[in-house]
């Protein structure tokens, strides 16, 4: 009886050893194919892989930047009163629209009265001295008057003309037309006219306040020539060129795109390693106001290249891989060198052992294969 039991245990032991020997080759096979992963029917059904082939297409580099709405210096005006004075009237409020030539404020001061008075006196004196000069000129020509008297008359006339011209310029400086100034129109008030059409950006004074000649009363903006000012990083400068297409959008309405083109590329790299780039809007939109934060996509020059869906590319540090179908439910990891990324596509520059346009490459489900391959390796 004891001999029978010992024999049975010996048979079981041999069977166990034989089973272990059968599993060993499979483990060796898995270890020798570290770049391949196989799926059974159930796994393939659960993963739902999709296969694609690399395509040769025209692509353009698209990179995203940000910036603000800006206006050129000639479209941003600071309104001052060169002679100073008190603000008597204004109706301006920030954001208000105005037209060129419209009265936007009225200033008053006794200095304006003195200036008009001095101008009219200089005008009267000049008229008298012109006549005297012409008379002395005729007398001197006929030798009825000495050269000295003629020279004195000429000097007085030229001095009066200089005084008249300088006072005339001062009147125009404060917005008064010298030809319309007379003893009947002398006023202590002077209107300020809008130099252009646009919108009020800032109102820096209030009625009754005295302003010095250097004080700014209002800041006015003509938004019809607004620019898009973007900050492009140094590493992307090689892709920039004049006339480059740009599509801008706000954070509030990202679906609304504004077409622009690059008109100016800065030559100085800032502390943040970026360069200022100015773009011109193809169509003016009154809803775009200076200072608005904008996002933008810059579209580079197009070229012909092999591309794959970006979801097919697996990133492992600085390396990139794809999975190529090598048989029924069998997929091999292949290293590739990628180029530019355009939307949902990635450029393939090099792929050793991969026949672009021929081999079937895993698109959807590539990451799942990557995880399974790593688990098998571990």
As a whole number of angstroms, the distance between CA 164 and CA 182 comes to 14
Kindly tell me the sign of the dihedral angle through the C-alpha atoms of 150, 153, 155, 157.
negative
- Structural domains of the chain, with CATH: 35-71+226-378 (2.40.30.170), 75-107+188-221 (2.40.50.100), 110-185 (1.10.287)
Per-residue pLDDT, 33: 64
Instruction: Look at residue 13 and tell me whether its pLDDT is greater than 60.
Output: no
Share of the chain above pLDDT 70, in %: 90
**Reduced to 3 states, what is the DSSP secondary structure of residue 171?**
helix
Q: What value does the CA radius of gyration of the chain take, rounded to a whole number of Å?
A: 42
Instruction: Provide the 8-state DSSP code for 196.
Output: S
Instruction: Quote the pLDDT of residue 63.
Output: 79
- Model confidence at 4, pLDDT cuts 50, 70, 90, reads very low
Residue 110: both structure tokens together: 């006794």
The 10s digit of each residue's pLDDT in 252-289 is 888 899 999 999 998 888 888 888 999 999 887 877 88
For position 224, what pLDDT does the model report?
78
Say if CB 79 and CB 216 are below 8 A apart: yes
Task: Give the pLDDT band of residue 93 (cuts 50, 70, 90).
Answer: very high
Q: Residue 24: which pLDDT band, with cuts at 50, 70 and 90? A: very low
DSSP 8-state assignment for residue 300: E
Name the pTM for this structure. Answer: 0.59
Angle at 72 between CA 68 and CA 78, to 5 degrees: 105
The residues, any chain, with a CB within 8 Å of residue 33's CB and separated by 6 or more, are: none
pLDDT at 21 over 80: no
* Tens-digit pLDDT profile for residues 341-358: 777 888 888 887 788 888
């Amino acid at each position: 009886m004891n001999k029978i039991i010992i024999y049975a245990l010996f048979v079981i032991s041999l069977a166990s050893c034989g089973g272990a020997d059968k599993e060993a080759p499979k483990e060796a096979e898995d270890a020798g194919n570290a770049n391949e992963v196989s799926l059974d029917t159930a796994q393939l059904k659960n993963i739902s892989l999709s296969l694609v082939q690399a395509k040769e297409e025209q692509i353009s580099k698209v990179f995203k930047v940000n910036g603000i709405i800006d206006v050129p210096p000639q479209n941003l005006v600071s309104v001052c009163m060169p002679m100073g004075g008190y603000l008597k009237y204004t109706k301006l409020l920030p954001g208000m629209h105005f037209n060129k030539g419209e009265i936007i404020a009225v200033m008053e001061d006794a200095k304006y009265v003195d200036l008009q008075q001095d101008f009219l006196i200089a005008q009267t004196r000049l008229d008298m001295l012109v006549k005297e000069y012409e008379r002395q000129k005729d007398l001197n020509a006929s030798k009825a008057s000495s050269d000295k008297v003629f020279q004195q008359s000429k000097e007085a006339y030229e001095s009066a003309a200089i005084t008249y011209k300088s006072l005339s310029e001062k009147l125009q400086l404060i917005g008064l037309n010298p030809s319309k100034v007379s003893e009947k129109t002398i006023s202590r008030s002077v209107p300020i006219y809008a130099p252009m059409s646009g919108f009020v950006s800032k109102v820096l004074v209030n009625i009754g306040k005295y302003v010095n000649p250097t004080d700014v009363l209002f800041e006015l903006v003509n938004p019809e020539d607004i620019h898009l000012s973007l900050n492009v990083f140094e590493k992307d400068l090689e892709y920039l060129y004049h006339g480059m297409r740009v599509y801008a959008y706000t954070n509030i309405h990202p679906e609304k795109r504004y077409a622009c083109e690059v008109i100016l590329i800065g030559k100085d790299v800032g502390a943040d390693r970026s360069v200022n780039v100015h773009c011109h809007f193809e169509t003016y939109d009154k809803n775009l106001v200076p200072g608005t934060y904008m996002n933008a996509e810059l579209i580079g020059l197009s070229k012909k290249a092999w591309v794959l869906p970006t979801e097919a590319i697996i990133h492992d540090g600085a390396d990139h891989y794809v999975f190529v179908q090598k048989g029924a439910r069998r997929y091999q990891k292949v290293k590739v060198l990628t180029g530019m990324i355009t939307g949902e596509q990635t450029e393939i520059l090099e792929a050793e052992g991969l026949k672009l346009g021929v081999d079937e490459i895993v698109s959807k489900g590539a990451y799942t294969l990557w995880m399974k391959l790593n688990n098998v390796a571990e």
